Amino acid sequence: MIGVFDSGIGGLSVFGEILRLLPREIHYYLADQAHVPYGPRTLEQIREYSRQITQFLINRGVKIIVIACNTISAAALYYLREQFPDVYFVGMEPAIKPSIEKTRTGIIGVIATQATFQGKPYENLIKKYAGVAEVVHQSCPGLVEKVEAGTIDTAETRFLLKQYLSPMIEKKVDQLVLGCTHYHYLKSIIQEIMGENVSIIDPALPVAKQTVSILNHYRNEQRFREQTEQKKHQFFTSGNINDFTSQIIRFLPFIGTNFEVREIRCNSGEIVE
């Protein structure tokens, strides 16, 4: 019923919240780890990878697709909606509006990939919601790779975070938006560096709630039926299947053994198992 995809494991943060809210549904998660990170890639590359992934999920009966990646959402969300008009897409965007509503100092910070900041959706968000608030944004090259490698609480990762967050501290931001789903797994370290007076805005739960709202809306219109037969959640990776399985167990410990992991590859512009 619901498919979630990301360049890697960052989207597991969103997927985990969806699992908690919809434990009876059959869910699909695809990690394109052969091409991670997406941040340095061209718009055309990201769109083509996303098109292939979307078609793969549709072929498995998925009706709602969550793009659990800010970079992909910025580069390909509008494109995918045009290419697949019968699919319900949920995208990611930096939580500019709620952070501005909560700020006390009038200064908020956003950390994300460079591709997210260069996308039209981010520009539109700033124009629509920033107003008189000051928005300090910082791209963070290397952090996605650290999370993918599992080197989260290390001296090197902390050094990168301190380097990227120091402008936020100097500006005295009181709201810090996580504009990349991979950063979810760095949240405790980010909070430690920023201090307890700074609120960390994580989009994982709000996006999961939006997904549930969409599902319930179309159920009310009897477009989707509720699933009653319990099956295992399906995970796919274009990377190393053993490494990905370990990452699922680490970041989704509550899932137990109720999942299967399969390897995928791109063959002539189409994803196959």
Domain ranges for the chain:
2-92+205-272, 96-202
Domains 2-92+205-272 and 96-202 share a fold: yes
Question: Would you mind telling me the total number of residues written for the chain in this entry?
Answer: 273
Q: Which of 69, 100, 147, 178 is catalytic?
A: 69
Tell me whether residue 69 is one of the annotated catalytic residues: yes
Q: Which fold has domain 96-202?
A: Rossmann fold (3.40.50)
Instruction: Quick: pLDDT tens for 165-203.
Output: 999 999 999 999 999 999 999 999 999 999 999 999 999
Q: Is the pLDDT of residue 77 over 70?
A: yes
pLDDT tens column, 107-153: 999 999 988 998 888 888 999 998 889 999 999 999 999 999 999 99
Fold of 2-92+205-272: Rossmann fold (3.40.50)
**Token reading at 169:** 């501290």
The larger pLDDT score, comparing residue 232 to residue 47, is at: 47
For 175, how many CA atoms within 13 A lie in the half-sphere containing its CB?
22
Name the active-site residue from 9, 180, 194, 264. Answer: 180
Tokens of 183: 């950063």
Tokens 């498995």 label which residue? Answer: 60
Look at residue 218 in the predicted model and tell me its pLDDT.
Answer: 80
Question: pLDDT tens across 228-271, in order?
Answer: 555 789 999 999 999 999 999 999 999 988 899 999 998 888 99
- In the predicted model, is pLDDT for residue 227 greater than 60? no
The model scores a pTM over 0.85: yes
Coil, strand or helix at 18:
helix
CA 71 – CA 95 distance, rounded (Å):
14
207-221: pLDDT as tens digits: 999 999 999 888 777
66 has a pLDDT exceeding 90 = yes
What is 75-130 written as a DSSP string? HHHHHHHHH-TTSEEE-----HHHHHHH-SSSEEEEEE-HHHHHSHHHHHHIIIII
The band of 223, judged by pLDDT with boundaries at 50, 70 and 90, is low
3-state secondary structure of 265: strand
